[in-house]
Structure 1
Amino acid sequence: MRARRLLPTPTTVATPVKRFLVNQLFCIHFQQTGDIFAISAAITALRIAVKLRSRHHKDLPLLLSVLGGFHLERFRKTGRLSDIDEGISLQLKAVTLTPHSHPNLPSMLSNLGNLLFSRFKRIGEPSYADVAIEAHQKAVELTPDGAAVLPELLNNLGVAFRCRFERSGELADIAEAISAQQKAVKLIPQDHTNLPFLLGNLGNSFDSRFERTGDLSDIAEAISVQQKAVELAPQGHAHIPTLLGNLGTCYLSRFERTGEIQDIVEAISAQKKAVELTPPGDAGLPERLNNLGISLTCRYERTGELPNIAEAISTHREGVDLTSEDDAGLPVRLSNLGKSLRRRFEQTFDPSDLADAIAVQQKAVTLTPLGHADRSLMLHDLGKIFHCRFVLHGESSDLDESISSHKAAAISSSGSPRVRLEAAKTWADLATQHNHYSSAIVPAFDTAIGLLAEIAGLEQTVQGRYTQLETSSGLATMAAAAACALGRTDKAVEWLEQGRCLVWTQLSDLRTPINNLQAHDSVLAQRVADISKQLEMMASSRGTSHIDMSFEEKVSLEDEARAHLDLARQWKDLLETVRAIPEFESFLAPSACSTLLRHLPETGPVIVINVHESRCDAIALLSGREPLHIPLPNFSIEKTSKYRAILNSALQSQHLRVREADNIVATSGQLSPARDMRPAPVEAHRYNPSVHLVLRGLWEEVVKPVLDALGIPKTAEGSKRITSRVWWCPTGPLSFLPLHAAGKYGGPNSEATFDYVISSYTPSISAITDRVKNTPSIDNPISGLLLTCQPTAPGASPIPGTTNEVESILKGAKRRGVRALMLQGDEMTAVECLKQMQKFSSIHLACHGSQNASEPLRSRFLFHQGSLELGEILKSNLKHADLAYLSACQTGTGEEGLPDEAVHLAAGMLSAGYQQVVGTMWSIRDRPAQMVAVSFYEFIFTSLERSSDTLFNGTDSAYALHQATQKLRHSLDDSEYSLLTWVPFVHYGL
């Protein structure tokens, strides 16, 4: 927890008073040097001037205002509350005596706001911040555009909003702060002496928001403007220490996120210089010492060098000693001292450090009022210290205190959601480790899982939410493992559903049909529909700031961000309104297990497989039955990692052989078509047991135990069609492994998943139940098949086989009377594709695919002319979408850092509205891709022919893919090369 010193700007008043101040009261001397004697002399002289004026003298309000402002300046140097109280009294009199239309009233109101705000900073009473902001807002409203004083008034308004944000944690406040301060910087002349201070305050606000959101573009902008502020400030100016200290704080913030050692070096350098330049007795010195102490602690955590932590502790102690008991900044400084003491204890095990750490941390918590944004972090740190003592002595009372502190931090009504989430995770972890706290496990994980939605709130872009979730990956599987150990299968199901695929679920919620609400209250329903549509559009279209943008572009993006934040707030209020209506209490709320079980497929179970370091379990969800818990004692997360490594190695080896094949082809002069990989040479067909090991392990340790528990028999030889279906819903790293192809291959006892069931995948339970609940009519008004053929794309190898593939499918469609359209080459652009997707229920994309792991919404399909990004597809309102066949590479490949978020093209197409999707887990070769695609559609067309139906639909797509891949498999042997050829084809959805 660090503090940022605000940078005041001089009070602007009428010209005659300015001359009086400059010539008689040493105003400029104080502003440049910070000489306390000059400001005291000015106050004495002004008091005399005020006494010499009658109550009705025209100069009296201005003199009162200036005198109040100088009391504020002295307070900033000395920290004496008497100056603030006197200043507020004088400023109120000045405002009261000034007519509403007087041109000096805005400046007086702003000065009053500064005084009220400074008292808020000093004593921490929120009401002072509210009144201060009102005064600043009124000052800005009364100031005409173009007035020279307007930048300073906007700056002061922004500072007040930022400081209230640091007290309350309300994102709306920091958005208002940045907006006001950006306007101030834009309006002030670039050679104005106050520009450095306006920039410094703007940098502080970006840094404050970064601490809450973790958006790296914010901290980059903060450092950039702080550097500019330092460069522009006159040498020797009294506020140079403040500018340097704030710059160091920004470097510290970035170091804590990225770990770049140069950032902590820069932070300590700037902060030490700031401390050195601060004169003794300056009210800003304790804050600068506090921030320097944090940086020194961070460097110790990085290097482990004890001199760093010793220096950090002594620096924190000095800052605490210089802080009065009634200063609102004292709790933060005590808390940071406690953290440094704990860090040294963890290295030296000196009991005195531990005792001191507990004492100062408890005092910090006691002094921090309920509702303060910093309280949750202090409680979290206190819990860590108690746990240190529990580990040292084993006293159960210390464990009780630790759990209690973490719990209090987690359920706090204010504070950073990320801090509260970390506290909830620690609370849950401690309760799980010590099983006599089993009664605390459920509320702990309920709290932690619930906080994920705050971490990835709707006020952020989709990409921003993914970034936030990266550090929380694995929480849902941890919770589910604990629930299974407790015998609470219902909770395991709920936590996995709430804690996984969160972003896709949010998008789905925004598209949920509201027919029932429409019937109850059409006006409210329309409001819900309007806000949800705007939120969805904003989340995928809003840009991200970067350092090279113009200032005007950055201001525009901030305006968009504020509008987005306001929409999210309106959405929250709307949900509360709807849920207050009888029978709508659970509207768009996380589903209970019993609710999830209502709309399961009737043709087979959904199998959720939870993989965690503590245990592995399967949970079978069947229509009309309670969840069936199937422990998997022979499987582990270590085996998952091992199997993934083996499979990745095999794929890499195959890719190298493909490159060798390219060289052979080039030497021979023969053309060898490829989708993303060319055929391997004959040597590649040699038997290699690695892939067999993976598939056999998955069969024996995961799939077969599940099928046995469900009593699903192997299909008799000679049977024409397998009727049993299964929807696999793997979690964590298991999401990257092919459960649908698990089996023992080769020899007389071979058997595999496809001998028992038709396999499909689903990213989440609701992704299937929503489709069952809202199954579209077979009489789709736009029933038809859109075929795209893109054999070439800039920067990608040609895939000439796509032409034959698509032409074969088109012939089959025409032969059965199915409405179909083929677009190829230059006639297929992203715009045209989106246009045609509105007219056809199904689409076949034969092209290159590009998975963007860092920005999932920028994953795309490559065309001859441009590309079609997933984000653009999601913006389309595809009400009648049915089947999407993605005849491209890696369309079902997820992102390792977000294994439970299903950030791949196949899941994205499901989220866009398609009922079923065919994708690929890794790169596919051109000839096999053609064979599977043609066989797939032949199966569907034959089914339509049997039913005398010419309306194309993907109802039988899972069966069709099963038959097509098995047809390909039977044309090959069981070598590694052959397995890697047919295994990647996967089915998602109904």
Structure 2
Amino acid sequence: MPENTKIKQLFDLGVLSLQNALDAQSNYEDLLIDTARHFDQTANTFKADIEEQEVLFLMFRAATRVACLSLLQYDSIIDNYLLNSPVMSTLAESHNHDAPNVSCGFSAEVNMESFWNLMNQAIRQNVPSVREDLLAYEFQGKNWPSFEKALECSLDNVGMERFWYGCISATLYQQLNVDHPEKITRCIEAMERTLELNRAQPASYTFLGEHRSLFLQATSGVKINVDMFPMRISWLKLLAMHYAYRLQSDFAMLMQQYESNTEQHRYLKDALLKIELASEWTRGISSLSKLRLELLVARAVALRKNFDVYRWTDDLEISASLLRESLESVSATPQQLSAYKQLLADILNDLVVSLPAPSERDPEYFLKSYTIWQEIVKLTDHDLTGQMARRLLGLGIAAERLYDTDAGNLSHLIDASNSLERAARIVNEPVLLAEILFIRARVLGQRRDHPDFADYLQVGLAAFQVVKENPSLLKMPLCPSWCSAHVDHLLGDIRENVLNSDPQVNIQQIYNTIEMIELLISASVEERFIGSFQYSLGSAYELLYRMQTRLGERLEHRMSTLRTALRAAESALKPGSRRYQMRTYHALVASIYDEMSNLSGQGTASQSTYTDLAIEHYRSATNWTGNYIKLTNALEKRYSLHGRRQDLDECVSRLMTQNGGHDTPTNAFYMASQLVRICLDNNLHDKLLPAYKLVFSALRRMSYLGNSSITRYKALSSASASYACDATACALSSNELITAVELLEQGRGCFFAEQLVVQTDTNYVRTFDPVLAQLIEAKLKRVQRFTKDTEAVLDNSISPGSFEDMYRSRVKHDETPSDVRLRLAAHDLAKYLNEVRKLPGYQDPTEPKSFTSLKNAAAHCPIVYVNISQFRCDALILHGSREPPVIVVPLTATWAVRPALITRNPKKLPHICWCPTGPAATFLPLHAAGDYSLGPEHRATSYVVSSYTSTATSLARALEREASTNSNLLLISQPSSPPNMPLPHVNQERDAIVAAMALAKAQVTVLHDEAGRVADVTRLLPTHSILHLACHGKQDKNDPLDSTVLLHDGGLKLREIIGTKLPSAELVYLSACQTAAGDANTPEESLNLAAGFLFAGYRGAVATMWSINDKDGADLAKLFYEHLLRFDGPPATNAALALHCAIQDLIEANPDISLIRWIPFMYFGVTRGQDSG
């Protein structure tokens, strides 16, 4: 028993109480009862699983109960009564018939009520004289569960098992009650088990330790008359058999009455009660196994009838469990087993098709359905091929649905295709074969990494061949839908891979698809399908035109294909189609006219006519943002042709009002960026700032919702450059200074800002809504998987170029299946996150900070934005102590930082926080600005202590985190990490830092060389406030979250650090190469290791802009910690000053040191002036 635990204290109290009771000369019973109640009350607090420290407690709880039982043993009274009871003699005679059955298995003449009354009377008259509490049914009733718990703790200790089985037998024998058959059957089972266990093997008490003698003293008084067990077993089995047969007879009579009048449901209800009770009387009694088998099957059948009446699926669940037990019965014949398997399969089939409709908030539904179908297939007779095929189809569909809900687990999709393949091999019915093949083709085509993906086209063709050979199938309700869905899938797959496959192969696939569609149209299917098939035919011909264009076929040939596509598409525009269908059909017609307007070699009149028609149909099709985009492109084209202002106004209006939250972020960004371009091209200055705000809103959505980190990075690198700077410049030109700062913040740092949502704390959500937390976790996984599919298409189908050119290509080719799946998953995720935002106390971290919050971040240390735009260049000084809150300093063509600094008194501005934008954010070391050919007064280091921040928003968030005043340091030193260059001065750096920490009496943990393993570093991070990394770092240019710190046994990725809870994180020193270097493609995102550590929770970071001299790094680190440990307060708030002083010391010690040796060292985060602590 472990020391210093709650259980230990309670155990000691219980043991002391038991010892006092056993030693007492008087009031022994009172003390024993009090001890039993103490153990009972405490045991109720234990978990279901018994832990090691609870075993002794439960053992002594049971030992106390044994002591109570020894005071009240009257089993001999019951023995005497049963031995002399005429009822038992009658039951024995009835049982001795050669073939017991319902008529002779019990005697209807026996008065069982009198039997039980007389037994209770005999007990009352002869029971020992004890306290009434010991006689109370509630008190005695706790003996059994306490002995069962002790038995559970005694497994593998045969002697102890035998003892506890005996105690269970004794206490249940004294509680015989007709209303509790489960106690009687457990008593029989316990007595039989007691007799089975080896008497010669003694109990082992070593686990009791010092408490062994007390345990033996407490349990020594009980007398278990094992010699009477065989007789008692026979008596109780007679009672069990009597009641089982009697209840079976009652059940049969009630079922007969119900079958005669099925409207009288009470007969069925009463029959189920009888058969359930009869089953209880046979539980665990091997000699009644045959009778129990009959009862189980009869009850299962009756429950199925009850389901037919009330449609309660619980009836089928119970029925199935009864039949599963029947299949394990040793009394079942092979013929019976076969019949029960078939019955169980039928009942499970009823269950799986009757489960409550899947709820969005019940993701377990599909797993349950899949599991049931697996069991059905396993139970089905292989000779029943038609039935087996249908059930394999059910299993395949269930596996596919499970795939859709289980974060895209490929194994489920493979299970689905394998089941459907088995079904296709054995089925003989054409309609069923067609359905199986169509569904299998759909399954195979969902994932390119499916091992049988290459077969999906062939399987689809086989399905169509079945339809072609059996055209009557098209008259059946579902067959046209299967065909249409497969056609859409084929066209979608070709469209998705249009630029990544052989055009000749694509053309052949399109011709095959056209043949299928024409077969469907010619089959005279229902009118409601014709429009859909005509639409598919038009889509196929339009896709064929694109392939012909790629191959450079003659203009006349391509024009002929477009006209064929147009005829089919316009044929779909028939009255009677549903609204959403009509919009889809209009979109196709519009797209074809749009293509015609772009063909070369035609006059202005034809181009204008086609453009007019395209616009007309796009206006009828604006149910999807992609159509709005195409409509605005067409309107702009017509404006360029004719110069009509209404076209420009409509184009701008639609881009302004239809942009945003109801569609994909990429669509929203494209529309907003087009709006900005059009406003600039046409001098629409009043629309510019609202347009930029739409751009930034879309950028934030692009950076997380429905996109993996790779896609976010690619999108931002293509889209975000210069928008923030240009928007700020436009606001400054309008003298809107506060708006300028807000726009500069909203347009920058989107990657990490929106990562906060993806990192939603599901543990927090789970406290309010566990199901919502589970859904968010599942949707995040699905979004990431579907994004990978989309990325592959994006990478393969889009050539380098501007975002607008890239996206125009995507819009032209419409949404691909991967796009659709990603959009839907992203939509679901956004919906769930909106629910999270409604939870009590939740603050949305992605909401842009107000200007007041930004101003507060600069209250003690001014933030200087250096804004470089194509329109103008300025320094914006944000502070919180005076009016105006923003000072603008225009920057000339050649400038230094001094113009931004001389506006302030250096004595009142010892610290300054630089926030560079555009190219300056990546390559410009503002802290070292100056003319070094002149005196110190021309250098920034003479005026200020510099720090950096990627955005004022990130600085505000760092200030919101609780500061840590501890200086406990985790130092990771890696002098070599092949294949990287060795770092020979790392050992010197380590020793110098350890010495500095020791001098300041600060705690330091060193993981050097082989000790610096990923697992150990990850384990120690949460307990240290300062992290020093003297090792190589690797920036990942494709996925910033895969940027890595290189340790002894591998890389510690930024995403792993972000995923680690860091409650003490304060300061990180990245003595590694280029840990502050950004990417020229994303100057507004600060996607470097330093920014990543700040996002992970550190309040400050020392990093390097480019590769450094190894010795300089070691020397500077030593100087840095010497200065840092002299200051009071949180380490991060003193780090900027400590780094400034360390650099000055390094320069003074090396007068000839070149600029490139000290300039790379930078500090990001909070500073001394910004932290009141």
TM-score interval w.r.t. the shorter chain? 0.5 to 0.7
* CA–CA distance in structure 1, aligned partners of residues 556 and 862 of structure 2: 61
Query: Alpha-carbon deviations, 1:695-730, whole Å to 9, x = none?
Result: xx5x43xx334334x4355x8xxxxx9823223242
In structure 2, distance between residues paired with 1:924 and 1:239:
71
Equivalent residue runs for 1:283-362 within 5 Å: 284=533, 286-294=535-543, 296-297=545-546, 300=549, 310=559, 313-326=562-575, 327=577, 328=581, 329-344=584-599, 350-362=604-616
* TM-score, normalization by structure 1: 0.64
- Alpha-carbon distance change, 466 to 225 in structure 1, aligned in 2, over 3 angstroms: same
SS at match of 1:314: helix
8 Å contact from structure 2 (residues 534, 568) kept in 1? yes
Q: Which residue of 1 aligns with 2:838?
A: 576
Counterparts of residues 474-489 of structure 1 (less than 5 Å): 474=721, 475-489=723-737
What's the counterpart of residue 618 of structure 1?
A: 875
Task: Say if 1:483 and 1:364 are closer, same or farther in 2 by CA, change over 3 A.
Answer: same
Is the CA contact 1:483–1:489 (under 8 Å) kept in the aligned structure 2?
Answer: yes
Partner of 2:1100: 916
Residue matched to 1:801: 985
Is residue 420 of structure 2 the alignment partner of residue 188 of structure 1? yes
Contact conserved, 1:178 with 1:202, CA < 8 A, in 2? no
Shift of 1:981: 2.3
Query: Please, which of 847, 859, 867 is the counterpart of residue 590 of structure 1?
Result: 847
Given the superposition, is the C-alpha separation of residues 745 and 273 from structure 1 closer, same or farther in structure 2, using an over 3 Å criterion? farther
Contact 1:884 1:918 (C-alpha < 8 Å) held by counterparts = yes
Q: 2:439 aligns with which of 198, 203, 215?
A: 198
TM-superposition CA deviations, 1:210-268 (whole Å, max 9, x none): xxxxxxxx6x459973654336743982679986874453243245xxx55x4656544
SS at match of 1:590: coil
Q: Write out aligned runs for 1:171-186 (5 A).
A: 184-186=416-418
Change over 3 Å in CA distance of 1:570–1:221 after alignment to 2: same
Mapped contact 1:99–1:105 kept (Cα < 8 A): no
Instruction: Give the match for residue 742 of structure 1.
Output: 929
Change (3 A) 1:816 1:530: farther
Deviation at 1:801, TM superposition (A): 0.7
Counterpart residue number, 1:407: 656
Matches within 5 A, 1:235-274: 237=465, 246-247=489-490, 249-255=492-498, 260=500, 262=501, 266-274=505-513
Distance in 2, matches of 1:564 and 1:856, equals: 21
Match 1:425 to one of 655, 673, 676: 673
DSSP-derived class of the 2:462 partner: coil
2:901 equivalent in structure 1: 707
How far the C-alpha of 1:594 sits from its partner, in A, is 2.6
How far apart are the structure 2 equivalents of 1:500 and 1:302? 43
Cα distance, 1:957 vs structure 2: 1.0
Identity of aligned residues (%): 23
Partner of 1:80: none
Matched with 1:681 is none
Distance apart, 1:789 and its partner CA: 1.2
SS of 2:572's equivalent in the other structure is coil
Aligned position for 1:855: 1039
Q: Are the structure 2 counterparts of residues 158 and 788 from structure 1 closer, same or farther at C-alpha, using a change threshold of 3 Å?
A: closer
**Partner AA of 1:982 in structure 2:** W
Relative to structure 2, which stretch is displaced further, 476-485 or 863-872? 476-485
Asked if structure 1 preserves the Cα contact closer than 8 Å seen for 2:875 and 2:891, the reply is: no
Aligned equivalents of 2:932, 2:538: Cα separation in 1? 68
User: What are the within-5 Å matches in structure 2 for residues 543-692 of structure 1?
Assistant: 569-578=831-840, 587-588=844-845, 590-625=847-882, 626-628=884-886, 630=888, 632=890, 634=892
How much has 1:527 moved relative to structure 2?
A: 3.4
Is 1:768 matched with 2:955?
yes
Q: Return the letter of the residue paired with 2:651.
A: S
SS of match in other structure, 1:743: coil
Amino acid across the alignment from 2:1137: Y
Report the CA distance between 1:814 and its aligned residue.
Answer: 0.5
Could you give the per-residue CA deviations for residues 314-343 of structure 1, whole angstroms, max 9, x where no partner exists? 353233244242452412311321331343
Residues 604 and 974 (structure 1), Cα distance of their counterparts in 2 relative to 1, 3 Å cut:
farther
- Structure 2 letter corresponding to 1:574: V
Cα distance 1:397–1:273, how it changes in 2: closer, same or farther (>3 A)? same
**Do the aligned partners of 2:597 and 2:606 also contact (CA within 8 Å) in 1?**
no
Instruction: Describe the shift of the 1:972–1:490 C-alpha distance in structure 2 as closer, same or farther (beyond 3 A).
Output: same
Determine which of 1093, 1113, 1117 is the counterpart of 1:929.
1113
Matched-pair contact (CA < 8 Å) for 1:140–1:150:
no
For residues 738 and 398 of structure 2, the distance between their equivalents in structure 1, rounded to whole angstroms, comes to 50
What does residue range 487-502 of structure 1 map to in structure 2 within 5 Å?
487-502=735-750
Q: Distance in 2 between matches of 1:606 and 1:855?
A: 29
Distance change (3 Å), C-alpha of 1:160 and 1:187: closer
Q: TM-score, normalised by structure 2?
A: 0.55
Q: Does the 8 Å contact 2:490/2:513 carry over to 1?
A: no
Conserved 8 A contact 2:348-2:376:
no
Take 2:1047 and 2:685, find their aligned partners in 1: how far apart are those partners?
A: 57
Residue 604 of structure 2 aligns to which amino acid in structure 1? D
Describe the SS at the equivalent of 2:1083. Answer: coil
Rounded Cα–Cα distance in structure 2 between residues aligned with 1:325 and 1:158: 39
Q: Secondary structure at the match of 1:823?
A: strand
Structure-2 separation of matches of 1:274 and 1:505: 46
> Cα gap change, 1:186/1:349 in structure 2, threshold over 3 Å: closer, same or farther?
farther
Aligned to 1:728: 915
Q: In structure 2, what is the Cα distance between the partners aligned to 1:422 and 1:358?
A: 23
- Quote how far apart the aligned CAs of 1:275 are: 2.7
Counterpart amino acid of 2:699? L
Instruction: Give the deviation of 1:777 after TM superposition.
Output: 4.7
Report the structure number with the largest CA radius of gyration.
Answer: 2
C-alpha contact (below 8 Å) 1:906/1:919 kept by paired residues: yes
Q: For the residues of structure 2 that align with 1:463 and 1:595, how far apart are their CA atoms? A: 34
Q: Residues 120-152 of structure 1, C-alpha deviation per residue, up to 9 Å, x if partnerless? A: xxxxxxxxxx9xxxx999999997743643565
* Alpha-carbon shift at residue 841 of structure 1 (Å): 0.5
Instruction: State whether residues 491 and 510 of structure 2, in contact with CA within 8 Å, keep that contact through their aligned partners in structure 1.
Output: yes
Do residues 989 (structure 1) and 1155 (structure 2) align? no
- Distance apart, 1:179 and its partner CA: 11
1:378: which partner in 2? 627
Residue pairs, 1:71-150, within 5 angstroms: 145-146=376-377, 148-149=389-390
3-state secondary structure, aligned to 1:879: coil
Q: Which deviations, in whole Å up to 9, do the C-alpha atoms of 1:924-968 show, x marking residues without a partner?
A: 221121122122122223x24xx5xxx872322112222333444
**By how many angstroms is 1:378 displaced?**
1.2
Report the alpha carbon displacement of residue 887 of structure 1 after superposing the two structures with TM: 0.5
Aligned partners of 2:972, 2:979: CA distance in 1, in Å? 19
Alignment of 1:753-764 (within 5 A): 753-764=940-951
The answer on whether the counterparts of 1:110 and 1:153 sit within 8 Å (CA) in structure 2 is: no
Aligned AA (2:630): D
CA shift for structure 1 position 788: 1.5
Give the 3 Å change call, closer, same or farther, for CA 751–542 of structure 1 in structure 2: same
1:273 Cα shift?
4.3
951, 968, 973: which is aligned to 1:789?
Answer: 973
Gap change, CA 1:357 and 1:416, over 3 Å in 2: farther
How far the C-alpha of 1:182 sits from its partner, in A, is 6.6
* Offset of residue 790 of structure 1: 0.7
Cα distance in 1, alignment partners of residues 351 and 617 from structure 2: 37
Cα distance change, pair 534–388 in 1 and its aligned pair in 2 (3 A) = closer
